[in-house]
Structure formats: structure tokens, C-alpha cells
Amino acid sequence: MNLRDLTYFDALATLKNYTAVAQRFHVSQPTITYAIKRLEIELDTQLLLRDRSHRQIELTTNGQQFEQHVALILHELKLARTEITASRQQKVKFGLPPIIGTYYFPKLAQRLAQHGLISHLNTLEAGSSTLLQQLRTGEVDLALLGSTTPLTDQLIAAEILYQQPFKIIVSPEHPLAQAGKVAFTQLANENFVTLKEGFVHPAALRQLAQPAGFTPNVVYTTPDISVLKSMVAENIGIGFLTALAISPADNVIALELADVKPPQFLISLAYRKNQVQSALQQKLITQLQQPLKA
């Protein structure tokens, strides 16, 4: 069996047209016919129904079954190629979600710089869910990911590096400004300004709102944390944010959540379990795993 034939079959499963597949790969149409025929002979089963009257091709059950595996095989092959190509440059493709990049990563950067590792990073900014997917496809080799629960995944190893509670932030003029802590249920009648950020903040908010039994009244949503903070400072609403991203200079008051189990913002280091790690990547992981000095 031939990988090229599998590629043709895979394309045919999507395009459902021999001629189109031939053009896509810049080969003649009989090439595709013969490729499929070879597969059908080798597997001793019909993979496609050529319905000439409806001018359409359909996959048989076996064809669908086979296509499942073919898609996986081709994905794996692509991943292999990507990894090997990437290993040629002394670079690690490093995924960093914006919040972590802004508020957590700088604390690590100095140590990485000392070990001469920074210049080998090829940093990609994206949301945590996107990055998880990109780890799988090999677009990213190593990533810091934000989440509210520990990440478990069959293909991706992840270990928690750091965690911070989520907090409520309010304007200094807000009635709750002196309260120090609040239970989420107390906030049923408040207006919220929220972050449009990936899936972590919304997920944490849902995690709180569900047992509290109300849907927060969101008056404004922004992807930008400093915008969020200034909206809160001007008392347009109250905010919900990782403690990590709150600093004394922000002109907002942070309130602890008094609920039984307030959600935590977890930062994990993640990579493909089955990737054979380059010396560079290993050094990087070791450094990132070192606990931060308080």
C-alpha cells in the first residue's frame, strides 16, 4: 500500500470527484482511478460507489471506515514532518496566551535569559484552547496554558506551575470597596464588565454563577484587561479577574471570593507526551518548572 494512494483517497473522500482530485495534485485523471483501484484490490473491498446517474461519488461503509484511519495516518505523517523540520532550526515553538504573557511570563523571562534560552523561543500568542489544539497538530511544541481545572489529555502532558484565585474588582467608590471579601451570591444585582478572553475567564464565571443561581448582568465586554480595569475604576460595573492580573497601581479594589471553592486560575506547562525532546526543549522545560522566587 502506498501513501500517495492514501492521499488521493483522502482528497477524494472530500472532493468526491476524480477529475478534481487529479487537478489538485497535478496528475492525470487515470492516476486517481488506478490509485483507488489499487486500494480496493489490496483491501479486497469496495470503497466508493460510483453513481453515474447522480454524477456523485459516495463512500461505502468500508470506505468511511477506512477514511477515518487514513485521515489519522496522514495527520500523523504531517506531524512527523513538521517536528523534524522544526528540529532543524534551534527553535522551540512556544505558545503563550496574552494574560499569561503579560502578567506571568515576565517573571520567568529573566531566568530564561540567563540560560540563553530566550533567543531560541519562537513565541506564538493565542488563547489557551487554540494553543491546546496547536500542540496536538505540532504547530506549537511547548505552551503555557490557562485553565480553571487541571488539564488532562491523552496526548498532551500538562503540569501546573502556578495558581491564583479569581477575584472581584470594584471601583474605590463602590459600596463594597471596604468589604474585603464577598460571596458571589451577593452580586446578583450588580452590573458586570467582563473579559472576552478565550475560554478561561468565561468558564470560571460560569463555574461560579451556576451554583449561585443567577446569570451575571454583563453591561460591557472587552478583550483588553486595561480597558476592563479602567471601566471598573470609573464604576461602570464590577469586574471578575485573576489575582495575577491585578496590581496595586490599578486604582481598583480587589475583593476575595468568600465562596466555598472559588475557582482558581491555573497556569500549566504543556507539551506532547510522545514528542522526543531536543536538548534545548528539555533545558527549557527544566527552567520553566523551577518554582518562582517569592
Partner DNA sequence: CAACTGTGATAAAATATTTTTATATGAGCA
Partner DNA sequence: TGCTCATATAAAAATATTTTATCACAGTTG
* x-or-dash string of contact with a second copy, 205-244, rule CB under 8 A: ----------------------------------------
Q: Which of 14, 65, 226, 286 binds a second copy (CB under 8 A)?
A: 65
Contact between 3 and a second copy (CB under 8 A)?
Answer: yes
Query: Could you tell me how many residues of this chain bind DNA (CB under 7 A)?
Result: 26
User: Which residues, 6 or more positions from 38, have their beta carbon under 8 angstroms from its beta carbon?
Assistant: 1, 2, 5
**CA-to-CA dists, residue 30 to 35, 44, 86, 118, angstroms:** 8, 20, 36, 52
* x-or-dash string of contact with a second copy, 98-137, rule CB under 8 A: ----------------------------------------
Contact present, 232 and 238 (Cβ < 8 Å): yes
**CA-to-CA dists, residue 223 to 199, 220, 227, 291, angstroms:** 12, 10, 8, 29
69 binds, among a second copy, DNA, none (CB under 5 to 8 A by kind): a second copy
Q: Which of 6, 11, 35, 205 binds DNA (CB under 7 A)?
A: 35
Contact present, 189 and 179 (Cβ < 8 Å): no
Span from 40-48, 107-115, 143-151, 239-247 in contact with a second copy (CB under 8 A): 40-48
Span from 19-27, 137-145, 216-224, 256-264 in contact with DNA (CB under 7 A): 19-27
Q: How is residue 286 written as a grid cell?
A: 527544566
**Rounded-to-integer distance, Cα 84 and Cα 50, Å:** 39
User: Which residues, 6 or more positions from 65, have their beta carbon under 8 angstroms from its beta carbon?
Assistant: none
Contact present, 127 and 223 (Cβ < 8 Å): no
Contact present, 26 and 36 (Cβ < 8 Å): no
Contact between 189 and DNA (CB under 7 A)?
Answer: no
Closest approach, Cβ 33 to DNA, in A, equals 4
List of residues contacting DNA (CB under 7 A): 2, 4-5, 16-20, 26-31, 33-38, 50, 52-55, 57
Residues at the interface with a second copy (CB under 8 A): 1-3, 43-45, 61-62, 64-66, 68-70, 72-73, 76-77, 79-81, 83-84, 87-88, 153-155, 274-276, 278
